[in-house]
């Protein structure tokens, strides 16, 4: 079955630096991969989606890459701010209808 | 625009008591609906999903059940709560066709004592 691996350790970076989070999957390559942000005590919020035929996707300070050979997606936040501190989840489709598999997320802490 | 509501926001219940959590979606028709549970420091566990009224698929055998009495209403229930049912319960919706991008509600924090 498909498994997703995200770094369970928190990522601490200085304000203004670029944060890079990793999502690895173990089985078949999904048709698309999604990234969500979750703040404590809140539901996840959708950020970006990248399809298997796309290498890179950008939205403002966010950039996602998708390498189906490495079975890996990287999520970058440039010019990071303390307000970017949150848990970031990656999610893949299961190859069946209507369901996603979510990773456990990586906690990002941006220090002022 | 679409909005999703969940209530209650927090709930403390004794072991053995019943449970009913409600989720409603506004601004869209025939959405796919989902119930997730998130234990402290853990990932999202899909409990149930529904593609239409009365159509419920269970992902994990457990002490819970779900119902969809109306197109945009999704209910999570239990007849007798267990300690292990404690957690953060999230409802989500997605479009019936497309990339399954999911839009989450604010969640219900359930503590079973």
Cβ contact A68:A29 at 8 Å: yes
The Cα of B9 is separated from the nearest Cα of chain A by a number of Å equal to 10
Quick one: pLDDT at residue A1?
72
Which of A45, A89, A100 lies nearest to residue B100, judging by beta carbons?
A: A100
Which of A93, A98, A104 lies nearest to residue B43, judging by beta carbons?
A: A104
Does A104 contact chain B (CB < 8 Å)?
yes
**CA dist., res. A75 & res. B42, Å (int):** 20
Q: Which residue has the higher pLDDT, B66 or B97?
A: B66
Mutating which of A99, A101, A105 best tests the B interface, going by the most B Cβ atoms within 10 A? A99
**Section A28-54 average pLDDT:** 91
The four Cα atoms A58, A59, A61, A66 give a dihedral, to 10 degrees, of -30
For the record, the structure tokens of A95 come out as: 């190859």
Quick one: pLDDT at residue B24?
98
**Section A24-43 average pLDDT:** 89
The Cα of A106 is separated from the nearest Cα of chain B by a number of Å equal to 10
Among A28-37, A92-101, B90-99, name the one with the lowest average pLDDT: A92-101
For the record, the structure tokens of B61 come out as: 């055998």
Identify the closest residue of chain B to A50 by CA–CA distance.
B99
Residues of chain B contacting A44 with CB distance shorter than 8 Å: 44, 90, 102, 104
Q: Which of B42, B44, B57, B60 is nearest to B92 (CA)?
A: B44
Decide if A42 and B107 are in contact by the 8 Å CB cutoff: yes
Q: Which residue has the higher pLDDT, B99 or B17?
A: B17
- Phi/psi-derived region of residue B42, left when phi > 0, alpha when psi is between -120 and 50, beta in every other case: beta
Decide if B99 and A49 are in contact by the 8 Å CB cutoff: yes
**Section B83-111 average pLDDT:** 91
Query: Widest CA span of chain B, in angstroms?
Result: 41
Quick one: pLDDT at residue B87?
94
Question: Residue A34: beta bridge partners?
Answer: A49, A91
Quick one: pLDDT at residue A80?
97
For the record, the structure tokens of A71 come out as: 């079975």
Sign of the CA dihedral A13, A17, A21, A22? negative
Quick one: pLDDT at residue A23?
95
Quick one: pLDDT at residue B33?
95
Residue A59 has pLDDT above 80, yes or no: yes
Decide if B103 and A100 are in contact by the 8 Å CB cutoff: no
Q: What is the pLDDT of residues B6-64, one digit of tens each?
A: 999 999 999 999 999 999 999 999 999 999 999 877 789 999 999 999 999 998 878 89
Decide if B107 and A32 are in contact by the 8 Å CB cutoff: no
**Section B74-90 average pLDDT:** 96
Decide if A49 and B101 are in contact by the 8 Å CB cutoff: yes
Quick one: pLDDT at residue A28?
76
Residues of chain A contacting B101 with CB distance shorter than 8 Å: 34, 46, 49
Query: Between the CA of residue B21 and those of B3, B52, B77, B94, what are the distances in Å?
Result: 17, 18, 6, 19
Decide if A44 and B109 are in contact by the 8 Å CB cutoff: no
For the record, the structure tokens of B47 come out as: 């409990």
Q: What is the pLDDT of residues A65-107, one digit of tens each?
A: 999 899 999 999 999 999 999 999 999 876 656 678 899 999 9
**Section B85-107 average pLDDT:** 90
Average pLDDT of chain A is 91
Q: What percent of chain A has pLDDT over 90?
A: 71
Decide if A43 and B92 are in contact by the 8 Å CB cutoff: yes
Query: Between the CA of residue B82 and those of A69, B23, B35, B87, what are the distances in Å?
Result: 44, 22, 18, 11
Quick one: pLDDT at residue A97?
60
Q: What percent of chain A has pLDDT over 70?
A: 96
Sign of the CA dihedral B43, B65, A100, B102? negative
């Amino acid at each position: 079955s498909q498994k997703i691996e995200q770094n369970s350790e928190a990522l601490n970076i200085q304000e203004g630096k670029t944060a890079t989070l990793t999502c690895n999957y173990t089985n078949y390559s999904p048709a698309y991969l999604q990234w969500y942000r979750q703040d404590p005590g809140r539901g996840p919020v959708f950020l970006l989606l990248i399809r298997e035929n796309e290498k890179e996707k950008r939205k403002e300070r966010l950039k996602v890459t998708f390498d189906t050979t490495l079975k890996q997606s990287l999520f970058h936040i440039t010019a990071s701010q303390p307000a970017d501190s949150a848990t970031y989840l990656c999610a893949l489709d299961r190859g069946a209808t209507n369901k996603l598999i979510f990773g456990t997320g990586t906690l990002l802490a941006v220090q002022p | 625009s679409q909005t999703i509501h969940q209530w209650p926001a927090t709930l403390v219940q004794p072991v053995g008591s019943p449970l009913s959590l409600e989720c409603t979606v506004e601004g869209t028709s025939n959405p796919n609906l989902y119930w997730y549970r998130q234990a402290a420091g853990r990932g999202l566990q899909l409990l149930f999903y529904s593609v239409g009224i009365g159509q419920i698929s269970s992902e994990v055998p457990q002490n819970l059940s779900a119902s969809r009495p109306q197109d945009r209403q999704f209910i999570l229930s239990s007849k007798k709560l267990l300690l292990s049912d404690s957690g953060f319960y999230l409802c989500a919706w997605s479009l019936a066709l497309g990339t399954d991008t999911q839009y989450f509600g604010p969640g219900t924090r359930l503590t079973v004592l």
